[in-house]
Amino acid sequence: MVRHARGDAWKTCGDGELYVASKATDPFIAFPMEAVEVSLLEVLEAFRSHAKPIAIYKATLIVPFIDQEEQSLASTFAPDMSEDELLPQLKRLGMMWTLGHAYHLNEPLIRKYFEAIPSLMTEFQKNVTEEAKPPALAKALPAALIQGYETIR
């Protein structure tokens, strides 16, 4: 489950599966389309007025982050999971897993990535906290979005 700063929550899936049997009204399709629309309108308005938006960038209100009620990525993708548990996870990657074989994506490599997830998430949290410090940027981003990314696990 993911949510965005406006408070909507929805189930989503990997990039390779987003458009398989989906409708434009599905939240994982509709929200990105809305984000592109409002972002483009803001850019055009900034061009017309020669001024940056003075409030939160509207598209950032729609950027999803993992709901804190969800299991952490490190738990979901544990490096020591059995092969019976791992294969369904890999199949959920859809085309990415299928095409990955051509680039030597394999089980040992996936397990190495899974091992790295906790440190990657810690580094990501630190980077978000640091990057969000400048007052101009902090003012342009919703607090819920910053917190969502600062607490990703």
Distance CA 76, CA 78 (A): 6
Question: Tell me: the pLDDT tens digits for 52-93?
Answer: 888 899 999 999 998 888 888 888 888 898 888 888 777 776
Q: To the nearest whole number, what is the mean pLDDT of the chain?
A: 86
Locate 108 and state its tokens.
């040992």
Query: For the chain, what are the domain ranges?
Result: 2-150
Q: Quick one: pLDDT band at residue 107, thresholds 50, 70, 90?
A: confident
Collapsing DSSP states into helix, strand and coil, what is residue 1?
coil
Question: To 10 degrees, the CA torsion angle through 34, 37, 39, 42?
Answer: -130
Question: What's the average model confidence in pLDDT over 108-119?
Answer: 90
β-sheet with 9-10: strand ranges across: 9-10, 2-3, 65-66
pLDDT of residue 91: 73
Collapsing DSSP states into helix, strand and coil, what is residue 66?
strand
Residue with token string 């994982």 = 28
